[in-house]
Amino acid sequence: MKNNEPIRILFASSVEEEKKRFELLIEVKKLPYEVYYPKDFQEADRIISTEQISIIITDTSFSAGAFADWLSLWPYPYILLAYYGEEDIVDELIQDEACSFIMRDPSYRHLGSLPTMIRKVLNIRESVERQNAHLRISEQRYMELVSSIPDIVYTLDGKGCFTYINDAITQLGYTPLELIGKHFSTILAEEEIPRVSRKEVLPRYRGIPTGPEHAPKLFDERRRGPRMTRHLVVKLKPKTDSSAEMATTAVVYSYGEVAAVGIELPEYEGMEIGTVGIIRDVTQRKKKEIELENELYHKDMLLREIYHRIKNNLQVIASLIRYRCDDLQDEQSKEIFLDLQNKIEAIALVHEQLYSNRVVGKVNIKEFLSQLIELLQDSYSVNRTKVQTTLSCEAVQIDSERALPLTLLLIEILNESYQYGVQRNGGSIHILLQVKKNILRLTIDDDRKGIPSADMNLFNVVDVRLIKAFVDQLHGSYRWDHTDGSHFELEFSLRNGKN
């Protein structure tokens, strides 16, 4: 009410003297009241209908009490004037927090407190109306937001029937109005119901502790917090095949409504807890995922085929070199051809690993080293009873960019051990490969008694240069000691970038 407007009071009292005393009070205190004094119920009803009444003041006897019985039907605050002994009637009539009562005094002294009570009642009513107005604005904004988002938002009662669903449901051909009161299974594919309905799912979990991580996912969820349903993939059922703009794969997020959080409200007493949920269309995303998976599969198969063909071609080249090597008479030339053949066959082994490994493009280094040792032992006709080769290797996968230089480096070191070391007088070779904090450490030891000076020729010098080149490709470091036998150490990072 604006400050410059008078307070319009409907004063419906059954006591004539009380009316006169109240009129006198207004005159004496110059109160900003505009008062209407109806003679009966009909006149009071007419005044309420035609005038902008601010407050009603009445008693339990006006129009034989009929007027007081109708007070709750009018949207106006009121003050009830009552006699002592009418407490039960007052308690029955005063239901609104913006209404009050005053107990009458035979000397009419209660009228002196009436202006204060009028002001208090009107202030309470104004405060309530402001709160309600803000609440209505908030609700309106919330409803506009919920109605405008593309996701389907719904609420269910305790029986799983829709109590609200936003306009996004029209994408499936339904209208919100036609789904209110219907069970949520109306919009789900038939095969989904046993999988997502609490009535079907929960009996299977009775007595089984699950915890938040393994709790069943439900369309009509009642739990909140960490146990609420997230990422539940469902198939929706359009009203008709031709009416659905939206495809049928969706993700559901659902949780128990307000009564599930421990707030006791009278309107929820005796009612089952309902559900609030959001349905998000993920059909296009799912299609894209399938397309990407198919594309990745085909690329994977193509890459495996490329590695397989490269391996076959390398084996053909190695066979041609072996064939030509048999015609050579010069031993040094034979050694060069044999070394070249070993390198080509080792690279072929790398490519075999690249296409046969579970992870395409990766080399299982433990399996690969076993094959490489077998290859070299066969190539140099190593007497396995005279020369013992042991391999201790952690299970690790490396990519082709590191596998190729590592393979060629290993051939140089093992060639040197077999050709100039233990192969002549017997002995053992120990290969150890460890990985710690993404650093690969390789050590190769043999127990030869040193290299004859006649063997330190130009060929060996070239081999050392190759080893340095391969280590540089790996961005690693190495140490090679021939003081007591041969001890080779190599370290490089398995992370991208330099060591």
DSSP string, 282-328: -HHHHHHHHHHHHHHHHHHHHHHHHHHHHHHHHHHHHHHHHHHHTT-
CA-to-CA distance for 405 and 382, rounded, in angstroms? Answer: 24
**SS3 for 23?**
helix
For 45, the token pair is: 């009803």
Cα 227 from chain centroid (whole Å)? 13
Length of the chain: 499
Task: List pLDDT tens digits, range 216-266.
Answer: 888 888 887 788 888 888 888 888 865 444 457 888 888 886 543 444 545
For 164, the token pair is: 């609200």
Note whether 100 and 55 are within 8 A (CB). no
- Between residues 8 and 261, the one the model is more confident about: 8
Q: 471 CB contacts (<8 Å, ≥6 apart)?
A: 405, 409, 477, 478, 490, 492
- Among 195-199, 271-275, 464-468, the range scoring the smallest mean pLDDT is 271-275
Q: What is the pTM of this model?
A: 0.47
Domains and CATH numbers, the chain: 7-142 (3.40.50.2300), 149-281 (3.30.450.20), 288-493 (3.30.565.10)
Residue 257 region, left (φ>0) first, then alpha (ψ -120 to 50), else beta?
beta
Provide the percentage of residues in the chain whose pLDDT is more than 90.
Answer: 26
- Among 58-67, 384-393, 410-419, the range scoring the smallest mean pLDDT is 410-419
CA-to-CA distance for 403 and 357, rounded, in angstroms? Answer: 13
Task: List pLDDT tens digits, range 25-58.
Answer: 999 999 999 999 999 999 999 999 899 999 999 9
CA-to-CA distance for 20 and 37, rounded, in angstroms? Answer: 10
- Band the pLDDT of 110: cuts 50, 70, 90: very high
Strands 100-103 and 78-82: parallel
pLDDT of residue 461: 42
Task: Give the mean pLDDT of the chain.
Answer: 82
Note whether 426 and 470 are within 8 A (CB). no
pLDDT of residue 119: 93
CA dihedral 21→27→29→32, nearest 10 degrees, is 110
CA-to-CA distance for 1 and 314, rounded, in angstroms? Answer: 96
Please give, one letter per residue, the 3-state secondary structure of 136-153: HHHHHHHHHHHHHCCCEE
Is pLDDT at 451 greater than 60 in this prediction?
Answer: no
pLDDT of residue 305: 80
- Among 116-125, 156-165, 291-300, 487-496, the range scoring the smallest mean pLDDT is 291-300
- Mean pLDDT value of segment 367-390: 82
